[in-house]
Amino acid sequence: MTDSDRPRYESPADRAIREAMERGEFDDLPGAGKPLTNLGDPDDALWWVRRLAEREHLDFSAALPPAIALRKEAAAFPRSLQDLRTEAAVREVLEDFNRRVRRDRLRPPDPGMPQLIAPTVDVEAIVDEWRVLREQRAAVRPGAARDPADHAPGRPGRAGRATHTSKWWLRWWPRAR
């Protein structure tokens, strides 16, 4: 008896798929008849994780070793500091970064892993770069160099907040109609 003469077992799932194909239920799907794209490296076991991260715009920086996460954070300076309004805030962020780097250096390496070291940043150099970026941004958008906190209506130091004294919790309370 050859393989073609033997009765073939068809699982319920296989039968349901075959019947749906015979009815033409898969004919009008988007991408039908087109090759699969972005398959990546066939030896990459985590291809689906990378595709999910790209599609959902996920940030896996918390899963990185701390030294590598710190290096990535340092590589983004001073562009990541553009939205800070004052030089004191920029200095505070950079000094906090250097504190975290020094704390990471005191941490023992993970077993079986080499000691990774992230360098500290030069606060003055990055503050100077931040000033240049801020001036360039102000040149592109006139009036952007002003600090809105200096010219906010209402109470001082309340820039960007509502000047009226509404009760915020009333927005969550159901209204009687």
Q: Is the pLDDT of residue 6 over 80?
A: no
Tokens 């004191």, located at residue: 88
Q: Where are the domains of the chain?
A: 64-142
Q: Which residues of 110-147 are buried (b: 16+ CB within 10 A; e: fewer)?
A: eeeeeeeebebbeeeebbebbeeebeeeeeeeeeeeee
Q: What is the mean pLDDT of the chain?
A: 80
pLDDT of 163 reads: 47
Flag whether the pTM goes above 0.75.
no
78-133: pLDDT as tens digits: 899 988 999 999 999 999 999 999 999 999 988 888 888 999 999 999 999 999 99
Q: Is the pLDDT of residue 159 over 50?
A: no
pLDDT of 23 reads: 93
Please name which of 73, 75, 38, 71 lies closest in space to residue 53, comparing C-alpha atoms: 38
pLDDT of 155 reads: 46
42-61: pLDDT as tens digits: 777 888 888 888 889 888 77
| E strands, 41-83, in order | none
Distance between CA atoms of residues 107 and 115, nearest Å: 9
